[in-house]
Structure 1
Amino acid sequence: MQARYFSLLFLLVFSGQIIAQTSFKSSVEELLQQEEYRNASVGINVIDLNSGENIFSLNPDKLLVPASTMKMITSGTTLEILGGDYRFKTQISYTGKIDKYGVLDGDLVLIAGADPALGSEYFQDHYFEFLKNWAKQVKASGINKVKGDLVLDAGIYDTERIPDSWVWGDIGNYYGAGPNAFTVYDNMYRITFSSPKKVGRLTQVIQTYPKIDGLQLVNEVLSADNNSDNAYVFGGPFDKHRVIRGTIPRNRSAFTIKASIPEPEKILAQAFLQNLLGEGIFVDGEIRLEKNINKKTKLIYMQESPTLAEIAEVLNHESVNLFAEHFLKQIAVEKNGLGNRNDAIDLVKEYWENRGLDMENIFMEDGSGLSHFNAVPPAFFTRFLTIMATNNAFVQSLPVAGEGTFKRFDTDRLPGKTLQAKSGSMTRVRCYSGYLTTNKGNKLVFSFMFNHFAGSHSTLIKEVEQLFVLLKTEY
Structure 2
Amino acid sequence: MIKEMISLLSLVFFCFTLNAQSQPTKDWSFNDEISLWKKHETLKNAGIGIFVQDATTGEVLAKTEPQLSLAPASTMKLVTTATALEILGSDFRFETQLAYSGEIKNDTLYGNLVIIGGGDPALGSEYFKEHYLENHFLDQWTKELQALQIKHITGDIITDATIFEEQTIPNTWIWEDLGNYYGAGACGLSVYDNMYRIHMASPAEAGQPTRVLTTKPFIPELELDNQVKSSKIKRDLAYVYGAPMSNQRTIRGTIPLGQANFVIKASVPNPPFLLGWELLDRITSAQITVDGFIKSQGYNDTLPKLTLVSRTLSPTLLEIAKVTNYESVNLFAEHLLKYLAFLMNGEGSTKKGTQAITDFWEKHGIDTHGFFMADGSGLSHFNALTAEQMVGILHYMKNQSIEGSNWFSSIPCVPNGTLYYFNPVNFPNNSLRAKSGSMTRVRCYAGELTTQNGQPLLFAVFLNNFDSSHREAIRLIEDLLLRFSKSK
TM-score band, normalised by shorter chain: over 0.9
One-letter amino acid matched to 2:52: V
Pairing 1:93–2:99 present: yes
- The AA in structure 2 aligned to 1:394 is W
* Count of paired positions: 460
Deviation at 1:181?
1.0
Are residue 82 (structure 1) and residue 91 (structure 2) matched? Answer: no
Contact 2:159/2:273, CA 8 A, preserved across alignment: no
Change (3 A) 1:111 1:165: same
Asked if the contact 2:273/2:295 (under 8 Å) is kept, the reply is no
- Report the equivalent of 1:41: 47
Conserved? CA contact 1:37–1:453, under 8 Å? yes
Counterpart for residue 8 of structure 2: none
Residue in structure 2 matched with residue 107 of structure 1 by the alignment: 112
Question: Does the Cα contact within 8 Å between 1:196 and 1:251 map onto a contact in 2?
Answer: yes
CA contact (8 A) 2:120 2:190 kept: yes
Check the 8 A contact 2:123/2:190 in 1, yes or no: yes
% identical equivalent positions = 43
Gaps of 5+ in 2: 1-20
- The 10-residue stretch of structure 1 (48-57 or 331-340) with the greater mean CA deviation from structure 2: 331-340
Q: CA deviation at 1:144?
A: 2.0
- 1:465 match: 478
> Judging changes above 3 Å, is the alpha-carbon distance between structure 1 residues 135 and 30 closer, same or farther for their aligned structure 2 residues?
same
> How do residues 8-23 of structure 1 correspond to structure 2 at under 5 angstroms?
19=25, 22=28
Contact map agreement 1:60 1:379 (CA 8 A) in 2: no
Cα deviation per residue 1:161-210 (whole Å; 9 max; x = unaligned)? 11010000111110000001110011111112222222222222222111
Residue deviations 1:379-401 (CA, integer Å, cap 9, x gap): 00011100012412210110110
Amino acid paired to 2:335: H
SS at match of 1:325: helix
**RMSD (CA atoms):** 1.7
1:270-296 CA-to-partner distances (Å, cap 9, x unmatched) read: 110111112221111111211133321
Distance apart, 1:332 and its partner CA:
1.6
Q: Distance in 1 between matches of 2:23 and 2:429?
A: 26
Distance 1:196 1:77 in 2: 49
Match 1:441 to one of 437, 454, 459: 454
* CA offsets 1:362-418 (integer angstroms, 9 cap, x no match): 100100011101110110001110001241221011011011111121122112321
Is 1:248 matched with 2:261? no
Contact 1:44 1:60 (C-alpha < 8 Å) held by counterparts? no
- Quote the Cα distance in structure 1 between the aligned partners of 2:225 and 2:392: 48
Distance in 2, matches of 1:234 and 1:215, equals: 13
Q: Per-residue deviation at 1:73?
A: 0.5
Q: What is the aligned counterpart of 2:77 among 71, 74, 79?
A: 71
Unaligned ranges ≥5, structure 1: 1-14
CA displacement, residues 315-355 of structure 1 (integer Å, 9 cap, x when unaligned): 00000000000000111222233312211222112211211
TM-score by length of 1: 0.93
Aligned partners of 1:60 and 1:377 also within 8 Å: no
Would the aligned equivalents of 1:21 and 1:474 in 2 still touch at CA under 8 Å?
Answer: no
Q: Report 1:388-399 matches (<5 A).
A: 388-389=397-398, 390=401, 391-399=404-412
The answer to whether the 8 A contact 1:121-1:185 is kept is yes
Matches within 5 A, 1:331-410: 331-389=340-398, 390=401, 391-410=404-423
Aligned to 1:270: 277
Q: Within 1, Cα distance between the matches of 2:61 and 2:234?
A: 42
Check if 1:120 corresponds to 2:125.
yes
Letter in 1 for 2:67: D
**For 2:196 and 2:27, how far apart are their aligned partners in 1?**
52
Deviations 1:199-254 (A, max 9, x none): 22222222211112222222222222232211111111122221111122222212
Match of 2:287 in 1: 280
Check if 1:138 corresponds to 2:145.
Answer: yes
Aligned to 1:182: 189
CA contact (8 A) 1:42 1:59 kept: no
Structure 2: which amino acid aligns with 1:315? T
Change (3 A) 1:432 1:96: same
Alignment-derived partner of residue 7 in structure 1: none
Mapped pair 1:163 → 2:176: no
Looking at structure 2, the residues matched to 147 and 177 of structure 1 have their Cα atoms a distance apart, in angstroms, of 34
- Structure 2: how far apart are the matches of 1:370 and 1:35? 28
Change (3 A) 1:60 1:279: farther
Report the counterpart of residue 4 of structure 2 in structure 1. none
Equivalent runs, 1:224-263 vs 2, <5 Å: 224-263=231-270
3-state DSSP class of the match of 1:430? strand
TM-score, scaled to structure 2: 0.91
8 Å CA contact retained: 1:23, 1:470:
no
1:450 to 1:18, Cα distance in 2 relative to 1, 3 A: closer
Give the CA deviation at 1:310: 0.3
Q: 1:28 to 1:249 in 2, by over 3 A?
A: farther
- Alignment partner, residue 300 of structure 1: 309
CA distance 1:350–1:24, shift in 2 (3 Å) = closer
- The aligned amino acid for 2:92 is Y
